[in-house]
Structure 1
């Protein structure tokens, strides 16, 4: 008997290890998705005047089409602009400001390449949400005379230019609304302000702000928006910290300073930090919408499929723990092929371009979990689940970063009764393919095999 018992126990253990059950509870609901998004820096400036109009239409269609990436949130860079005599910026990051010098008039013809992409996106996606994001004040407002940062990585905005900087941001936002009928619903005046790597002579714009000076620019910008009656259509988003933990600490400082009422939206980058749940709790407690406004494989030593699957898992973790209403990528396009950041690679010389595995990994989420869907409870850390507003469509996305296939049972919960399932997969050898399933599906005992190193999505239609 002991021998038979050992064999039975071994078999049961093998089943338990090789096949798990994912329990979904559609009755436990979390955030409702407002959108998937992307920053227009720096790719829009780099490609917006260097490819044919037809190619640019392709790029923007892939980005916005509900049948492709289905992105509807776009972060437009209001560049400060560097000293024209400087030549240290990367070509793609040399985004011109709207004034060439302090006492010159605004030159609204500048930043044409990025604007070209913005206007194409606007034409293709009437429901788009826009944010105006700034990384540095204009060079003449800075202590170093350089929009890449201070010589030591310290605060770089001159003490007596906070009101001028606020005016600059508000003027650009007001111009785009009047001239192009593009409404920036939020303005992000600072970017990764706690970081000490924004130094003069750097390769892109950046500017550190201490806690005290962050609070100062928030007050100045709020007064500027109020003065011009702009608060009815736009507001302040802060602080786009590089780390989730930095963001939470900064917000606690804002709370102590009594300025949370001036903040329309919390922005955070999910490159680093662990306090996702705590930041979400802070946002909920103060009833301030939360965006994950920028992410990518910073400091990630993974290449190829492993890199893209890492980012797929980050989306799952962010949406389950941080629970933002918007999730934004940093780079949509990038120079060269085989890069870890870009979803589309390109060559400026040959004008060749192609979608990466990262594009198709994103599509597993963004095409299927649509704006207005609500994220729902499941008990698996590698699985994201959402349900449509009418409760008739459920989406399940499973990330498998492992070297071996994984099989799961899925329990869809008592209140959702599937009648049809459609499967899609991206892997090392597959780009968002539709998977045929010839089984006579028993939804009461639903099983799915998730291929090694893949993202698998299931769209279920309910009864």
Structure 2
């Protein structure tokens, strides 16, 4: 299938295998791969459903692209499937129908489009019985549930349910985008109702949808200041301070509600703060009300872009010392070349040591870059969404893509494929000796995978494999160019295998590129 694949010509596209204008090479260096330093079993790669699945949730081609490793026809391209196995399901907070005929209605932000309003199920507070059709509407959110099922059918095996906001009638102002002043918006008498809602849906999903949620997360960026009544998305501030331990109280309620419904095996994840520093601060506060023992997993988002690694390291040490697993559950940015994605993913693996890593919206539209004023795409694949406030809609692709980029696919799709298609669930993440390289070992297949990102100068890198007892041979190598000027030639392209000399492997890296090297018959 690889011979059928069309390279996406980006800008003044260069032929596959060629390089950009010559630049001085950085000094060569050697990095030692150490299998004895093991950061745990890799659980997998994923993405949130949410907005894109709210519009395109019945599209089986997208399901093939994201949840298989097959080569998939996509418009005039043939793309490598990403092989994601982690699915984050957004439990909706919005509903257009009134609580009851003539009853209260949801208050809607004047700036939120319909495609960003995720439908909920619990119509009103009159009955917590999910069989009561006057209080529950299980036909809502059909598109997101469709993609959830297609992901499962294609092999996805880790499912997490998360809440961006409590359902609208639990909010103080009935607005699931936030309070007018950005303050806490979950009514205190609904702490237990919010927990009950999560548990009821988790139970219903297991019994009726055939989906078992491994974990449930009651919050999403709950300490963020940006959740307000005119926000362009759903959101809710929920504090975790000693003076207002709202998060902690919800978590206590949630553990009880899950256990009551026979879901004691479902882990509570918290709190998905926006930054590593915020996640660390919130985790420290989970000692309040002795809440830490109830949390099985710490989630964090990856939007602290200026972090040099210290905040990541601090969070890892704090969570690891508590014996909890750690996930990076949301990352995204608008630069289509993918170089920044590779930098930050590598830094996450080097300092944060998560056991799963997730992108935010794999299908997204153009946004205006605040610095340059140009419009770029947050997605791995591109879409044009309707910003109508009452009717959700969208089409795949962009009519006027950024100069030098493709209409349908961003280059960072291929950058992410360099990692997701080769570092697979069940492998062990081991020490690579370098913040530029992610190293993973598959004990069953005796396979070593090395993925390295190179910056704005060429460089020769030697991988020292002397700490392995035996080293076989390189079985494949792939490369993706990721130049910030979008002069990109190779996209997940096969490259000649470099020779192994004993237990030394020396590889030439061109500027702004990502390489994946797979070596078989490796024994620690």
Contact 1:31 1:325 in 2 (8 A): yes
Report what 2:93 is aligned to.
Answer: 80
What is the CA–CA distance in structure 2 between the aligned matches of 1:85 and 1:145, rounded to whole Å?
5
Report what 2:190 is aligned to.
Answer: 161
Any idea what SS the aligned residue of 1:449 has? strand
Report what 1:136 is aligned to.
Answer: 165
In structure 2, stretches of 5+ residues that fail to align are 1-23, 71-80, 96-104, 127-133, 368-374, 386-393, 398-406, 482-487
**CA shift at 1:367, angstroms?**
0.4
1:328 to 346, 358, 373: 358
What is the CA–CA distance in structure 2 between the aligned matches of 1:389 and 1:228, rounded to whole Å?
38
* CA gap 1:462/1:145 in 2 versus in 1, 3 angstroms: same
Report what 1:215 is aligned to.
Answer: 248
Any idea what SS the aligned residue of 1:161 has? helix
Structure with the largest fraction of helix: 1
**CA shift at 1:354, angstroms?**
2.7
What is the CA–CA distance in structure 1 between the aligned matches of 2:179 and 2:475, rounded to whole Å?
55
1:434 to 481, 494, 507: 494
Report what 1:7 is aligned to.
Answer: none
Any idea what SS the aligned residue of 1:98 has? coil
Contact 2:447 2:519 in 1 (8 A): yes
Contact 1:132 1:188 in 2 (8 A): yes
What is the CA–CA distance in structure 2 between the aligned matches of 1:145 and 1:347, rounded to whole Å?
29
* CA gap 1:140/1:16 in 2 versus in 1, 3 angstroms: closer
1:451 to 476, 487, 510: 510
What is the CA–CA distance in structure 2 between the aligned matches of 1:369 and 1:410, rounded to whole Å?
18
Report what 2:30 is aligned to.
Answer: 21
> Any residues of structure 2 matched to 1:385-396 within 5 Å, and which?
385-390=439-444, 392-396=446-450
What is the CA–CA distance in structure 2 between the aligned matches of 1:129 and 1:375, rounded to whole Å?
18
Contact 2:122 2:197 in 1 (8 A): no
Any idea what SS the aligned residue of 2:203 has? helix
Report what 1:309 is aligned to.
Answer: 339
Any idea what SS the aligned residue of 2:178 has? coil
Any idea what SS the aligned residue of 2:189 has? coil
**CA shift at 1:313, angstroms?**
1.3
Any idea what SS the aligned residue of 2:506 has? strand
> Any residues of structure 2 matched to 1:59-78 within 5 Å, and which?
59-67=62-70, 68-78=81-91
What is the CA–CA distance in structure 1 between the aligned matches of 2:429 and 2:466, rounded to whole Å?
14
What is the CA–CA distance in structure 2 between the aligned matches of 1:354 and 1:160, rounded to whole Å?
47
1:414 to 459, 467, 487: 467
Report what 2:319 is aligned to.
Answer: 283
Any idea what SS the aligned residue of 1:22 has? strand
1:240 to 255, 272, 279: 272
Report what 2:404 is aligned to.
Answer: none
Contact 2:350 2:434 in 1 (8 A): no
Any idea what SS the aligned residue of 1:29 has? strand
**CA shift at 1:335, angstroms?**
2.9
**CA shift at 1:343, angstroms?**
0.7
**CA shift at 1:141, angstroms?**
1.1
**CA shift at 1:149, angstroms?**
0.4
**CA shift at 1:16, angstroms?**
10
What is the CA–CA distance in structure 2 between the aligned matches of 1:414 and 1:136, rounded to whole Å?
49
Contact 1:313 1:382 in 2 (8 A): yes
1:356 to 401, 404, 410: 410
* CA gap 1:262/1:440 in 2 versus in 1, 3 angstroms: closer
> Any residues of structure 2 matched to 1:338-353 within 5 Å, and which?
339-347=376-384, 351-352=396-397
What is the CA–CA distance in structure 1 between the aligned matches of 2:362 and 2:123, rounded to whole Å?
28
**CA shift at 1:97, angstroms?**
1.2
What is the CA–CA distance in structure 2 between the aligned matches of 1:445 and 1:223, rounded to whole Å?
55
Contact 1:129 1:184 in 2 (8 A): yes
Report what 2:453 is aligned to.
Answer: 399
Write the deviation string for residues 357-377 of structure 1: whole angstroms up to 9, x where unpaired.
111111100100111111111
What is the CA–CA distance in structure 2 between the aligned matches of 1:398 and 1:239, rounded to whole Å?
31
**CA shift at 1:391, angstroms?**
6.6
What is the CA–CA distance in structure 2 between the aligned matches of 1:248 and 1:304, rounded to whole Å?
30
Aligned residues: 433
Moved more, 347-356 or 67-76: 347-356
- TM-score under structure 2 normalisation? 0.78
Query: RMSD of the TM alignment (CA)?
Result: 2.2
What is the CA–CA distance in structure 1 between the aligned matches of 2:421 and 2:502, rounded to whole Å?
24
**CA shift at 1:350, angstroms?**
5.9
**CA shift at 1:419, angstroms?**
2.2
Report what 1:294 is aligned to.
Answer: 330
Report what 1:254 is aligned to.
Answer: 286
